[in-house]
Amino acid sequence: MKDSRLLVNSDLLICFLTGNPPEQASKVKELFSDSSASKRTLVIIPTAVAFAVQRLESDYRLEVRPVAESMLALLSAGRNLEVRQEDLVIPALEIHRDQGIPIDLAFLAAAAQAENTALASCDSLARNIEGVRNIDLG
């Protein structure tokens, strides 16, 4: 019996986007394409997205904009994906792409914007996030 819902780990997102390692990438691509054909739902949680983005940029040394754009394209590709807290994840990726701030701050900025709340931080990078009021504790 096939599971109809699968939680997707960050390593699958990384493998899908990089194609590495090749022997696993073909299986991962098959899983994503099979989900559409078989009505299997792949569930993606915000921490998997954030960790995948962080690893692609640090370990793989990829640039912010292409990583964010690739992740946005993957998450909106029309497959049978369930992106948990999509109303937070998509704006966070857009902020990350457009402002180049670290993905963790981008998630906080997206939450602050959505809730019309100030962001309290000691991080100097938080001072200049567009569209976010900041309480600087640094």
Residue that is written with structure tokens 């940029």 in the block: 57
CATH class of 5-136: alpha beta
| Alpha carbon distance 54, 96 (integer Å) | 11
Residue 41 has what DSSP assignment? E
Q: What pLDDT was estimated at residue 40?
A: 85
pLDDT in tens, the chain (138 residues): 467 899 999 999 999 999 999 999 999 988 888 665 667 899 999 999 999 999 999 999 999 999 999 999 999 986 689 999 999 999 999 999 999 999 999 999 999 999 999 999 888 888 889 989 988 787
* Cβ neighbours of 72 (radius 10 Å): 17
**What are the domain boundaries of the chain?**
5-136
Instruction: Answer for the pair 88, 45: CB distance below 8 angstroms, yes or no.
Output: no
Residue that is written with structure tokens 């299997």 in the block: 40
* Cβ neighbours of 91 (radius 10 Å): 18
Q: What is the pTM of this model?
A: 0.91
| Alpha carbon distance 47, 37 (integer Å) | 26
